[in-house]
């Protein structure tokens, strides 16, 4: 009973105390409570904001190094024999025999195929007969000349013995004319003989050409005919065989882009790879860079030939090769990443600084701040890299040289080997 009575008395006293407080005094208590909460909130915001602003941007760096700079140009093309010959037929006819096949090795003068010889042999026999007839005509003409010459000589002796009385002058003139006609017939017969000999020689040449022979020592790459096939050589000789002279020496014909052709010259070394031999690199040397351009799908390129040693015959004509041509080798060069030459600091003054913020500014909302514009290099300004000094980016002007797409040579400037150069800006730590 005592506990309940005491509790009731306390509640009654508290109620009376609350009732006795004036409304103005209660309102002041709520005002100070809200003000204290606002001050605490502003202090927290100010602390967080100042903490962020105290922390400046972070940078990724990479050291300038002294190393060998190798500049390469890539190009793609196909392997071809150094001397590829298409063998055809000058004569029309039916293929009687084919004596070689693809991949066969042949020697110069070896018979590859032979046409039907029946008509050609008949033509040779006919020409020989015509030649024999012409030669007989020559003998006949020579006999006539001898007869005419003897008759004229006899008449001249008679005229000398008769004192010019007999034979008459007209008879002497006739005998002289007969001799001249006989000599002309002899000359004509000799010409007919020469013509018959030429016809015979032509027919014998055709007979020899009916046996199609290899013009080089090499390998048969392709065979386009079979026995019984008709060959029609009208305006151009049909291709019957394709020969490669020496597959131990080949050439890689690549198309070099117009942007790279200025760096490519005869005598430069190159390596290339083919799909048939993954992981293997073949050596090559540039032998010719064409001055004539070629266009494909709107892209201008220049045909470049590379000599390839194929002693083991692992490479074959037509294979696609991707070549890397070494255009420049610079030893002991000071190199920096290309990203360092492209870098510019995010603000003109990259030094971290603490910005004073008032209590009212911390409480009141502000429009979002815009990032400071990046420093733009003036047109024609010298290349530069940026280094860190006391946490701030500092520009260093340099003179650049060759580049391989990732690293660039530094020819002059106040940059030393081992100096860390900025390549990019990292996000600030939260």
Domain ends where: 163, 191, 209? 209
Residue 194 in any domain: the answer is yes
- CATH number of the domain bearing residue 225: 2.40.50.100
Residue 392 is predicted with a pLDDT of: 87
Same domain, 96 and 165: no
- Ramachandran angles phi, psi of 6, nearest 5°: -65, -45
Same domain, 220 and 279: no
User: Please, where are the H alpha helices in 297-414?
Assistant: 338-342, 359-363
Are 69 and 327 contacting, i.e. CB atoms less than 8 angstroms apart?
no
Same domain, 254 and 174: no
Residue with tokens 């005094």: 25
Q: Give the number of other CB atoms < 10 A from CB of residue 321.
A: 24
Distance between CA atoms of residues 415 and 386, nearest Å: 10
Domain ends where: 329, 360, 381? 329
Q: pLDDT per residue over 383-424, tens digit each?
A: 899 998 888 899 999 999 988 889 999 998 888 889 999 899
Q: pLDDT per residue over 207-230, tens digit each?
A: 999 999 999 999 999 999 999 999
Q: pLDDT per residue over 56-97, tens digit each?
A: 678 889 999 999 999 999 999 999 999 999 999 989 999 999
Are 336 and 61 contacting, i.e. CB atoms less than 8 angstroms apart?
no
Residue 147 in any domain: the answer is yes
Residue 13 in any domain: the answer is no
Residue 339 in any domain: the answer is no
Same domain, 202 and 225: no
Same domain, 307 and 272: yes
Task: Look at 39-43, 79-83, 190-194 and tell me which has the smallest mean pLDDT.
Answer: 39-43
Which range of residues forms the domain containing residue 230? 87-113+214-245
Residue 426 is predicted with a pLDDT of: 84
Same domain, 97 and 228: yes
Same domain, 150 and 199: yes
Distance between CA atoms of residues 92 and 160, nearest Å: 68
Residue 48 is predicted with a pLDDT of: 56
Residue 42 in any domain: the answer is no
Domain ends where: 245, 265, 299? 245
Same domain, 205 and 181: yes
Residue 272 in any domain: the answer is yes
Are 92 and 206 contacting, i.e. CB atoms less than 8 angstroms apart?
no
3-state secondary structure of 78: strand
| Cis ω for the linkage preceding 237 (within 30 of 0) | no
Show the tokens assigned to 287. Answer: 């032998």
Residue 98 is predicted with a pLDDT of: 95
Q: What's the average model confidence in pLDDT over 319-329? A: 94
Residue 27 is predicted with a pLDDT of: 59
- CATH number of the domain bearing residue 301: 2.40.30.170
- For residue 144, the number of C-alpha atoms closer than 13 Å in the C-beta half-sphere is 20
Q: Which residues contact 399 (CB under 8 A, 6 or more apart)?
A: 382, 383, 410, 411, 412, 413
Q: pLDDT per residue over 88-130, tens digit each?
A: 998 999 999 999 999 999 999 999 999 999 999 999 999 999 9
Residue 287 in any domain: the answer is yes
Whether 32 has a pLDDT exceeding 90, the answer reads no
Q: What's the average model confidence in pLDDT over 157-179? A: 90
Backbone torsion region of residue 313, taken as left when φ is above 0, otherwise alpha when ψ lies between -120 and 50, otherwise beta: left
Same domain, 149 and 176: yes
Residue 394 pairs in a beta bridge with 387
Residue 233 in any domain: the answer is yes
Same domain, 121 and 205: yes
Same domain, 224 and 109: yes
Residue with tokens 């030939």: 305
Same domain, 186 and 304: no
Are 50 and 354 contacting, i.e. CB atoms less than 8 angstroms apart?
yes
Is 0.75 surpassed by the pTM of this model?
no
Are 242 and 86 contacting, i.e. CB atoms less than 8 angstroms apart?
yes
- Total domains present in the chain: 3
Q: How many helices (H) and strands (E) does the chain have?
A: 6, 19
């Amino acid at each position: 009973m005592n506990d309940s009575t005491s509790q009731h008395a306390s509640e009654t006293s508290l109620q009376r105390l609350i009732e006795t407080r004036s409304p103005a005094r209660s309102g002041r208590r709520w005002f100070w409570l809200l003000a204290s909460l606002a001050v605490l909130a502003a202090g927290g915001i100010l602390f967080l904001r100042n903490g962020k602003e105290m922390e400046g941007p972070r940078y990724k760096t990479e050291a300038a190094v002294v190393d060998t700079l190798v500049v390469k140009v890539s190009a793609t093309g196909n392997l071809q024999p150094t001397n590829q010959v298409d063998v055809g037929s000058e004569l029309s006819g039916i293929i009687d025999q084919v004596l070689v096949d693809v991949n066969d090795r042949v020697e110069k003068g070896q018979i590859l195929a032979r046409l039907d010889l029946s008509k050609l042999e008949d033509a040779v026999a006919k020409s020989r007969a015509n030649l024999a007839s012409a030669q007989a005509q020559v003998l006949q003409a020579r006999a006539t000349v001898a007869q005419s010459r003897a008759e004229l000589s006899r008449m001249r002796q008679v005229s000398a013995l008769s004192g010019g009385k007999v034979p008459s002058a007209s008879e002497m003139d006739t005998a002289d004319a007969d001799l001249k006609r006989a000599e002309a017939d002899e000359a004509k017969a000799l010409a007919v003989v020469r013509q018959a000999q030429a016809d015979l020689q032509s027919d014998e040449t055709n007979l020899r050409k009916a046996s199609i022979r290899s013009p080089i020592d090499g390998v048969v790459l392709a065979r386009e005919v079979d026995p019984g096939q008709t060959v029609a050589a009208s305006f151009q000789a049909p291709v019957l065989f394709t020969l490669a002279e020496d597959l131990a020496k080949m050439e890689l014909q690549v198309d070099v882009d117009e942007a790279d052709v200025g760096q490519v010259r005869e005598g430069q070394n190159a390596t290339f790879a083919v799909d048939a031999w993954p992981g293997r690199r073949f050596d090559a040397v540039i032998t010719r860079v064409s001055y004539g351009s070629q266009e494909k799908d709107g892209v201008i390129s220049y045909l470049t030939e590379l000599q390839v040693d194929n002693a083991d015959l692992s490479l074959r004509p037509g294979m696609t090769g991707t070549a890397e041509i070494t255009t420049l080798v610079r030893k002991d060069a000071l190199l920096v990443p290309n990203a360092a030459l492209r870098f510019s600091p995010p603000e003109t003054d990259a030094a971290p600084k603490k910005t004073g913020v008032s209590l009212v500014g911390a409480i009141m909302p502000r429009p979002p701040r815009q990032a400071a514009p990046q420093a733009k290099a003036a047109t024609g300004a010298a290349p530069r890299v940026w280094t860190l000094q006391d946490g701030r980016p500092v520009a260093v002007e340099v003179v650049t040289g060759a580049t391989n797409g990732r690293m660039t040579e530094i020819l002059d400037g106040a940059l030393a080997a081992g100096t860390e150069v900025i390549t990019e800006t990292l996000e600030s730590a939260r």
